[in-house]
């Protein structure tokens, strides 16, 4: 089981949080492949922690649907079911649309400027053909809108769904297009003018169009 030795280690996190975040990231980006068997001793050595937080993290990852544990036998990374994205994107699109609506009541000028700056970086990634970076920056754009809502319930559900969507995007090599740049701009404009109907409509289209193209 090849494990990178030069990964970045988050600061100010418990061993369990560090392990969970790193293992989830490795599963999402394919460092740990679908169906791969996981050895808690090897993982503990790689992360420089004991086996206990590794086991706790694996249990949580099983609850999240990233691994499957077979007591007394093995722990494996779950397989990627291509069609599952059809079940993932509609609820995420609905929550992201709701976030755009609710964020309008809280958004500041500085945050609108920040959204614009993120979209500029997104555009740079798109035009340079860096699809991996584009996916990361796109997620940053949408996450900021979710954070602006100050709704912890939405944040929690979106975080769970987004992790699975990210994994599907990476494994299915989904490439975002220039149209997303314009949609982001339209969302920012709608939020600036407190146009909730427009913001929610464009946000929903932004997500569901990806599903249609897929």
7-16, 107-116, 132-141: which has the minimum mean pLDDT? 7-16
Neighbours of 177 (CB within 10 A): 13
In this predicted model, what pLDDT tens digit does every residue of 97-107 receive, in sequence order?
999 999 999 99
The ranges assigned to domains in the chain are 15-77, 82-213
Which residue(s) pair with 70 in the sheet? Answer: 74
Instruction: Output the CA–CA distances (angstroms, integers) from residue 75 to 13, 31, 63, 193, in the order listed.
Output: 24, 16, 13, 50
> Which two structure tokens, joined as six digits, stand for 116?
């614009």
Cα 212 to Cα 206: distance, rounded to the nearest angstrom? 10
- At residue 153, the 3 state secondary structure works out as helix
Query: Does domain 15-77 correspond to CATH entry 2.40.50.140?
Result: no
Q: Tell me which DSSP letter residue 38 carries.
A: E
> Which two structure tokens, joined as six digits, stand for 66?
């990233």
Task: Return mean pLDDT, the chain.
Answer: 89
DSSP-assigned letters across all residues of 45-109:
HHHTS-HHHHHHHHHHHHHHTSEEEETTTEEEEPPP-GGGHHHHHHHHHHHHHHHHHHHTTT--H
What pLDDT band is residue 125 in, cutting at 50, 70 and 90? very high
Q: Which fold has domain 82-213?
A: 1.20.120
Task: Establish whether domains 15-77 and 82-213 are of one fold.
Answer: no
Cα 29 to Cα 202: distance, rounded to the nearest angstrom? 28
In this predicted model, what pLDDT tens digit does every residue of 141-192 receive, in sequence order?
999 999 999 999 999 999 989 899 888 888 776 778 899 999 999 999 999 9
């Amino acid at each position: 089981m090849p494990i990178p030795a030069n990964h970045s280690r988050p600061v100010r996190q418990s061993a369990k949080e560090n392990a969970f975040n790193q293992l989830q990231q490795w599963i999402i980006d394919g460092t740990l492949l679908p169906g791969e068997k996981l050895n808690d001793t090897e993982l503990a050595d790689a992360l420089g922690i004991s086996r206990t937080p590794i086991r706790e993290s694996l249990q949580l990852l099983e609850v999240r649907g990233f691994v499957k544990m077979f007591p007394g036998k093995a722990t494996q990374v779950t397989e990627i079911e291509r069609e599952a994205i059809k079940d993932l994107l509609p609820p995420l699109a609905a929550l992201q649309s709701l976030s755009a609506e609710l964020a309008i009541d809280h958004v500041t000028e500085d945050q609108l400027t920040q959204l614009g700056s993120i979209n500029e970086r997104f555009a740079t990634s798109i035009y340079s053909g860096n699809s991996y970076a584009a996916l990361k920056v796109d997620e940053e754009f949408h996450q900021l809108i979710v954070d602006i809502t100050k709704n912890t319930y939405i944040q929690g559900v979106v975080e769970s769904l987004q992790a699975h969507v990210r994994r599907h995007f990476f494994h299915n090599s989904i490439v975002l297009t220039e149209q997303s740049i314009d949609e982001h701009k339209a969302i920012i404009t709608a939020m600036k003018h407190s146009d909730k109907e427009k913001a929610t409509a464009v946000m929903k289209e932004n997500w569901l169009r990806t599903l249609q193209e897929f």
